[in-house]
C-alpha cells in the first residue's frame, strides 16, 4: 500500500464495529492482566506498610531505651554514687549519640531492604544496580574518606566511653574540658576559655584526666641548713590537718604522704609531698597544700629558698657585703686604664 492510500485510509471515519472491536480487545487485555497488577500492587503495599511499621516500632523502642538510660542517670546525679560515676549530662549526650546512630542504621537497613524487594517484584534486574551502587560507594568513600574516618572514630569513642561531657582530656592536638561529644567533632574548652573543635579522626591518643583518681604532688624547697626532722614533722602536721578539714576530707582519697628528700645541693633541699585525690581535683589540693605549708613554715621559723631576706646579724657579719667591688679603672697602671688613656702625639726632632 502506498503512502497516499494509507493517508486516505487514515482519514476514513471509524465505524461502530471497529470501535466495538477495539474496546473488546482492550477489555480483554485488562481482564487478562488485572489480577497480575492487583497482585503486584498488593505486594508493594504490603512491603511498604510492613517496612513503615517495623521502622516505627524499632525507632520507638530505641527512643524509650535511651530515655530509660537518661532517667537512671538523673536518679544518681548529685549523690555520692553519681559523683563516682559519670554525670547526667555526659550520659545523656552519650546515650543520645548512640541512639541516633542506632536509629539511622535501622532506618537504612529497613528502607533499603524494602526498596530492593519492591524492585524485585517488578522483575527489575538488580545486578547492574548493585554493581553501580558499589562503584559509587567506593568513589564516595575515596572522596569523603576523612568524613568517614571522623564518623567511625566518633562511633567507637562513644561506644567505648573513652571520654564524656565534663571530662578534662588531652587529645594531642588540643586539651581542655569536654563540653560536647559528637559523631564527627568533639568540642573542648581550653584553659583560656577558647572552644576547640577537634575532628575525631585526627585524635591519635586520648589522655583522660577525669577517670579513676588523680595525684596531687607538691615540692617544698628549703635551705640546706634546716633541720630535716623538723621539716618532716611540720609537713606531716599540715597533711593531717588538711585531711580533717572540709571539704578536703572528701576530695582526698588517701593520706597526705611526705615522700622524703628529693634532691640536695649547696643552695637548697627539695622535699616532696603527694596525695591521691578525686579525679580533676589535684590542682586545688596542691594550691591548698602550698598555702598551708607556707603558713606553717613561717610559724615554725623554717625558711624556704627565695623567702625572707637574711637576718640583720647575718648581714652585718660580712662587712664587705655592702662594699662594691673595686673598678679596674681605679689603678692608673692597670691594662684597662692604659688602654683607655689617650695616645700622646709623636715628638718631632730637628
pLDDT value at residue 8:
42
Question: Which one has a higher pLDDT value, 195 or 281?
Answer: 195
Res. 345: pLDDT tops 80: no
Residue with cell 564516595: 140
Q: 66 with 92: CB under 8 angstroms?
A: no
User: Which pLDDT value is given to residue 85?
Assistant: 46
Mean confidence (pLDDT) of the chain = 77
pLDDT of residue 311: 46
- Give me the mean pLDDT over the 67-79 stretch: 62
Whether 167 and 209 have beta carbons less than 8 Å apart is answered as yes
Confidence of residue 53 (pLDDT cuts 50, 70, 90): very high
d(CA 188, CA 179): 6
Per-residue pLDDT tens for 112-165?
888 888 888 877 777 777 777 777 777 766 767 788 888 888 888 887 888 888
Highest average pLDDT, of 31-40, 46-55, 98-107, 308-317, comes from: 46-55
Average pLDDT over residues 301-316: 59
Q: How many percent of the chain have pLDDT more than 70?
A: 71
What is the mean predicted confidence (pLDDT) over 309-317? 46
Residue (of 299, 292, 298, 213) closest to 245 by Cα position? 292
pTM of the model: 0.51
pLDDT at 95: 77
Q: Where residue 80 falls among pLDDT bands split at 50, 70, 90?
A: very low
> Each residue of 281-299: pLDDT tens digit?
888 889 999 999 999 998 8
**Mean pLDDT within 182-208:** 88
* Alpha-carbon span 57 to 102, nearest angstrom: 13
Length reported for the chain = 350
Q: What was the pLDDT predicted at 182?
A: 81
pLDDT number for residue 99 = 82
HSE-CB of 170 using CA atoms within 13 angstroms = 4
- DSSP class of residue 296? H
Sorting pLDDT into bands at 50, 70 and 90, what band is 5? very low
pLDDT of residue 350: 46
Q: Quick check: 244 pLDDT over 90?
A: no
Higher-scoring residue by pLDDT: 58, 145: 58
Residue 315 has pLDDT above 50, yes or no: no
Give me the pLDDT at residue 163, please.
84
Amino acid at each position: 500500500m502506498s503512502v497516499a492510500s494509507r493517508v486516505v485510509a487514515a482519514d476514513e471515519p471509524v465505524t461502530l464495529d471497529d470501535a466495538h472491536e477495539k474496546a473488546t480487545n482492550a477489555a480483554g487485555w485488562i481482564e487478562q492482566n488485572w489480577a497480575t497488577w492487583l497482585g503486584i500492587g498488593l505486594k508493594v503495599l504490603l512491603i511498604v506498610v510492613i517496612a513503615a511499621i517495623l521502622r516505627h516500632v524499632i525507632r520507638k523502642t530505641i527512643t524509650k531505651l535511651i530515655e530509660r538510660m537518661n532517667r537512671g542517670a538523673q536518679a544518681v546525679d548529685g549523690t555520692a554514687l553519681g559523683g563516682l560515676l559519670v554525670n547526667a549530662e555526659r550520659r545523656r549526650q552519650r546515650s543520645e549519640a548512640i541512639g541516633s546512630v542506632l536509629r539511622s542504621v535501622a532506618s537504612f537497613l529497613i528502607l533499603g531492604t524494602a526498596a530492593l524487594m519492591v524492585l524485585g517484584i517488578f522483575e527489575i534486574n538488580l545486578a547492574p544496580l548493585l554493581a553501580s551502587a558499589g562503584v559509587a560507594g567506593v568513589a564516595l568513600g575515596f572522596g569523603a574518606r576523612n568524613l568517614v574516618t571522623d564518623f567511625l572514630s566518633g562511633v567507637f569513642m562513644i561506644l567505648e566511653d573513652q571520654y564524656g561531657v565534663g571530662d578534662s582530656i588531652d587529645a594531642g592536638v588540643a586539651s581542655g574540658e569536654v563540653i560536647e561529644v559528637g559523631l564527627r567533632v568533639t568540642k573542648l574548652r581550653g584553659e583560656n576559655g577558647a572552644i576547640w573543635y577537634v575532628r575525631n579522626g585526627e585524635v591519635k591518643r586520648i589522655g583522660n584526666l577525669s577517670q579513676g583518681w588523680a595525684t596531687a604532688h607538691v615540692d617544698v624547697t628549703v635551705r640546706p641548713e634546716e633541720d630535716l626532722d623538723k621539716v618532716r614533722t611540720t609537713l606531716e602536721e599540715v597533711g593531717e590537718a588538711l585531711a580533717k578539714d572540709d571539704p578536703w576530707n572528701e576530695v582526698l582519697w588517701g593520706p597526705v604522704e611526705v615522700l622524703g628528700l628529693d634532691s640536695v645541693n649547696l643552695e637548697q633541699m627539695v622535699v616532696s609531698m603527694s596525695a591521691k585525690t578525686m579525679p580533676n581535683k589535684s590542682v586545688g589540693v596542691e594550691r591548698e597544700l602550698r598555702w598551708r605549708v607556707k603558713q606553717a613554715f613561717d610559724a615554725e621559723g623554717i625558711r624556704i629558698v627565695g623567702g625572707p631576706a637574711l637576718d640583720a646579724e647575718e648581714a652585718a657579719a660580712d662587712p664587705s657585703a655592702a662594699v662594691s667591688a673595686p673598678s679596674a679603672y681605679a689603678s692608673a697602671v692597670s691594662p684597662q686604664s692604659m688602654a683607655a688613656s689617650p695616645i700622646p702625639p709623636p715628638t718631632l726632632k730637628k
